[in-house]
């Protein structure tokens, strides 16, 4: 937050983030980053030939192949999730964005203005535009967003809780006072 300028922080929650990472999309992105062929083969091997089954009560399904998701508990999964979303920064523009583990946070600060209202209008319009880009990106790369847990937090040093309406597609994001 700069001086007396409001800042909007959008906290994006991905539904079952690691479970939804699309293997083919991840491989495309790893290729774009020009990682070594040996490392790429190792990651492809690590993701390949994974199978699962479902247990319900005393019944067990047959095994089926898994083509999406990163193994829970693996130390490599958070890194691959971050790599998977590393191009999101260019998608949303010049705003500050942070991907850590399975969380995405975007900070938007308006240009300095003598009046407070134009800065709030900027936050609403730019916040909605950026959220639309995030939603489009997430749909393209098969990473569904949990809209009920995606929230906006406004930081301002002098005005208590200015009302800002930021939307992701047609959904108005909940404005929160604190985020954990």
pLDDT at 131: 95
Choose between 146 and 161: higher pLDDT. Answer: 146
Question: From edge to edge, which strands make up the β-sheet containing 174-176?
Answer: 96-100, 103-108, 7-13, 151-155, 174-176
Q: Residue range 123-134: average pLDDT?
A: 94
Q: Residue range 125-132: average pLDDT?
A: 94
Asked whether residue 2 carries a pLDDT value surpassing 80, the answer given is no
Asked whether residue 111 carries a pLDDT value surpassing 80, the answer given is yes
CA dihedral 101, 104, 110, 111 (to 10 degrees): 50
Q: Residue range 145-154: average pLDDT?
A: 93
3-state secondary structure of 133: helix
pLDDT at 3: 62
Choose between 157 and 174: higher pLDDT. Answer: 174
pLDDT at 158: 67
**What's the pLDDT tens digit per position in 18-71?**
899 999 999 999 999 999 999 999 999 999 999 999 999 999 999 999 989 999
Q: Domain limits of the chain?
A: 7-176
Element containing residue 108 per DSSP (H, E)? strand 103-108
Choose between 91 and 129: higher pLDDT. Answer: 129
Asked whether residue 100 carries a pLDDT value surpassing 70, the answer given is no
Asked whether residue 162 carries a pLDDT value surpassing 80, the answer given is no
pLDDT at 156: 81
Asked whether residue 76 carries a pLDDT value surpassing 80, the answer given is yes
pLDDT at 101: 65
Question: Which residues are CB-neighbours of 137 under 8 A, at least 6 positions away?
Answer: 88, 91, 92
């Amino acid at each position: 937050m700069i001086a007396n300028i409001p800042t909007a922080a959008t906290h994006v929650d991905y539904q079952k983030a690691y479970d939804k990472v699309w293997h083919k999309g991840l491989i495309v992105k790893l290729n774009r980053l020009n990682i070594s062929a040996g490392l790429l083969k190792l990651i492809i091997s690590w993701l390949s030939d994974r199978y699962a089954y479902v247990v319900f009560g005393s019944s067990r399904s047959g095994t089926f192949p898994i083509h999406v998701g990163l193994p829970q508990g693996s130390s490599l999964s958070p890194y691959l999730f971050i790599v998977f979303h590393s191009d999101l920064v260019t998608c949303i523009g010049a705003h500050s964005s942070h991907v850590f583990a399975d969380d995405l946070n975007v900070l938007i600060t308006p240009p300095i203005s003598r009046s407070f209202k134009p800065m709030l209008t900027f936050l609403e319009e730019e916040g909605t535009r950026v959220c639309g880009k995030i939603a489009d990106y997430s749909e393209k790369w098969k990473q569904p967003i949990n809209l009920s847990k995606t929230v906006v937090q406004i930081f301002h040093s002098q005005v208590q809780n200015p009302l800002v309406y930021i939307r992701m597609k047609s959904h108005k994001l909940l404005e929160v006072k604190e985020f954990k």
